[in-house]
Amino acid sequence: MKEEAIKDLLYKIADDQLILGHRNSEWTGLGPILEEDIAFSSMAQDKIGHSLAFYTLLHELGEAEPDLLAFSRSATQFHNSQFTELPNGEFDYSLIRHFLYDNAEAIRFEKLSHSGYEPIAKVATKLKGEIKYHVLHANTWIRNLGSSTEEAISRLQNSLNSLMPYALGMFELSVYEQVLIDTGIYAGEEAIKEEWLTRIQQVLASTELTMPDIPSQTPMLGGRYGTHTKHLQPLLNEMAEVIKIDPTAEW
């Protein structure tokens, strides 16, 4: 029971990072300024590197090799939130997702660094410093653009409104939620969500953007249980395109 719970937790964290890292990497060569091209690429490398660290923990618990876990499962076997798999859209959309996601991830990692499950605590402690920079980057950009031109403000507001239900889907409860909390492995999604709302609200308050009304939102759930949008399977097909040419070869 406990081991299943830990695996479930590791899968959702690793899958979120792999899929969002993939999306971030799609900005390579296409950023609005060279500096952002580089920033998104750098965050993509961190995310994908972090997912590898968590797949490695899964492998140590008897799951397949990281390359197999990442490159050979189908969409229904992925536990990422639907939020991370949505196509990039324009820069405002990607930036809002980055802001909402990384603020949540920073909290998740801070809590995980005190996890009662030693291997997770170790990895989270090592990686949370990098995530701090992602949050700093996101918050700076939101503060900047969120009080700049009318166009920028209205773009960001629209993206914020349309992404909020998906962002709330990140906090979908696991069937193991209570076990994880009781055993001191994980703080649980509700606790993370509450803190996240406060932090998001704080940043938005320093801009001309308005926090969407949370109680009236319908969170987009299902991702943690393998229900995904139509966008995930094509992403996974693309990721596996080369490896599938000769799956037994070393590349």
Partner 1 sequence: MYGGGNTFEAIKAEGLEEEDARKMAEFEGRIAQGEKIEPDDWMPRLYRQQLIRMIEQHAHSEIIGALPEGTWITRAPGFRRKLALMAKVQDEVGHAQLLYSAAETLGKSREEMLTDLINGKSKYSNVFNYPTYTWADSCIISWLIDAGAIVNQMANSKGSYGPYCRALERICAEEAFHLKYGHDSVVYMATGSSIQRQMVQEALNRWWSQIMTFFGPSDKLSVHTETLMRWKVKMASNDECRQQYLDMYVPKILELGLTIPDPLLKKNEDTGQWEYTEPDWDEFRRVINGDGPCNAERLGVRRMAEERGAWVRLALKNPTAKYVRPLA
Q: Which is nearer to partner 1, 152 or 191 (CB)?
A: 152
Q: Which is nearer to partner 1, 143 or 231 (CB)?
A: 143
Q: Tokens 């609200």 belong to which residue?
A: 201
- Chain-centroid distance of CA 170 in Å reads 8
Do residues 139 and 196 make contact, with C-beta atoms less than 8 angstroms apart?
A: no
Residue 71 in the binding site for partner 1 (CB under 8 A):
yes
Q: What is the DSSP letter of 246?
A: S
Do residues 97 and 86 make contact, with C-beta atoms less than 8 angstroms apart?
A: yes
Q: What are phi and psi of 78, to 5 degrees?
A: -95, 145
Q: Smallest distance, Å, CB 15 to partner 1?
A: 14
Residue 133 in the binding site for partner 1 (CB under 8 A):
no
Residue 241 in the binding site for partner 1 (CB under 8 A):
yes
Q: Smallest distance, Å, CB 131 to partner 1?
A: 17
Phi-psi region of 194 (alpha: psi -120 to 50; beta: other; left: phi over 0): alpha
Interacting residues with partner 1 between 81 and 100 (CB under 8 A) = 90-91
The site for partner 1, by CB under 8 A, has a size of 52
Q: Smallest distance, Å, CB 34 to partner 1?
A: 5
Residue 7 in the binding site for partner 1 (CB under 8 A):
no
Q: What share of the chain is helix, strand, coil (3-state, %, to 5)?
A: 70, 0, 30
Do residues 183 and 235 make contact, with C-beta atoms less than 8 angstroms apart?
A: no
Residue 52 in the binding site for partner 1 (CB under 8 A):
yes
Q: Smallest distance, Å, CB 73 to partner 1?
A: 14
Site string for partner 1, 147-186 (x = CB under 8 A): xxx-xx--x-------------------------------
Q: Smallest distance, Å, CB 220 to partner 1?
A: 24
Question: What's the rounded Cα separation, in Å, for the pair 12 and 78?
Answer: 8
**Core vs surface per residue 219-232: b (16+ CB within 10 A) or e:** bbbebbeeebbeeb
Do residues 192 and 111 make contact, with C-beta atoms less than 8 angstroms apart?
A: yes
Interface residues toward partner 1, by CB under 8 A: 22, 25-26, 28-38, 41-42, 44-45, 48-49, 52, 66-67, 70-71, 90-91, 140, 143-149, 151-152, 155, 206-207, 235, 238-239, 241-243, 245-246, 248-251
